[in-house]
Amino acid sequence: MTSAADQTKSAFAPAYVIVAAAGSGTRMGLATSKQFLVLDGLPVIARTCLILEQTPGINGYLVVAAPERQAEMTRLLKAYPLRRLIGITAGDDTRQASVANGLAALGRAVNPPADAPVLVHDGARCLVTPELVKRVLDAIRSRLAGGAALPVKDTIKRATAEGRVLETPDRQRLWAMQTPQGAVWSLLAQAYDLATRQGFRGTDDLSVLEHAGIPVYLVTGDEQNLKLTTPADLAYAGWLLANRVL
């Protein structure tokens, strides 16, 4: 693990990542958390961390684990050469609360400068590429807040609870969100603090920033940057790795 004093020096403000890995993965239908599943010889969370180790411009990252799995997560990650790992902290009942815990822990550990980009990435998106992380990082440096997303392919309907269609939004303006997402430290910390104080619950990190009135921008994501949520996702990710599609 690394300390604040050990961070890589750069002409830019340092950049950090919060890895959200506190989910239970109940939709996977397995006894263990998806973060600990082995995919092509590597645990999912280790694969995610090793990608961040390879990403230019990332000075450090902090993993948020389920409180009851924090010790197990620590033991697992100690087996890998994770030079940029700042630490492992306990999450909470929701992803948003877990990210807030991670931001607080990052603040205590490294006290990021106000203009330091801070990304939030789902630990279960272990097929993310260094190139995509770097694109989001560059977008935050230039536009202060942004995240990865893909244009939707399917026609989307808005409907009532009974299933009656209300409208068909123009899909050319619709995007399906991925991670990483984030903003410069001052804005991201401010947005999460406001959400906590006002009881706002967003569906992702950009929605928390939007709630605070902060403009956010989209970066084209990657089809293979899937979140491992169901057994089908796991099988597809395994196929991609086995066939060296990535």
pLDDT in tens, 50-66: 999 999 999 999 999 99
Contact 15, 117 (CB under 8 A): yes
HEC readout, 143-182: HCEEEEEEECCCCCCEECCCCCEEECCCHHHCEEEEEEEE
Name the residue type at position 14: P
Does CATH number 3.90.550.10 belong to domain 4-242? yes
Asked if the model's pLDDT at residue 40 lies above 50, the reply is: yes
**pLDDT tens-digit map of 78-120:** 999 999 999 999 999 999 999 999 999 999 999 999 999 999 9
Closest CA to 235 of 37, 1, 8: 37
Show the DSSP H helices in the chain as ranges. Answer: 44-54, 70-77, 95-110, 130-143, 185-198, 205-211, 231-242
Q: Which pair of tokens denotes residue 74?
A: 């620590």
- For residue 245, the tally of other CB atoms under 10 A from its CB is 9
Q: Give the residue-averaged pLDDT of 15-30.
A: 83
> SS3 of 88, please?
strand
pLDDT band at 244 (very low <50, low <70, confident <90, very high): confident
Domains of the chain by residue range: 4-242
- For residues 33-62, give the mean pLDDT: 96
- pTM for the model stands at 0.92
From 199, 186, 217, select the one nearest 94 (Cα to Cα).
Answer: 199
Region 232-240 average pLDDT: 93
Contacts of 187 by beta carbon, 8 Å cutoff, 6+ apart: 144, 145, 209, 212, 214
**Rounded mean pLDDT of 116-131?**
98
pLDDT at residue 187, rounded to an integer: 99
Model confidence at 32, pLDDT cuts 50, 70, 90, reads confident
What pLDDT sits at residue 6? 41
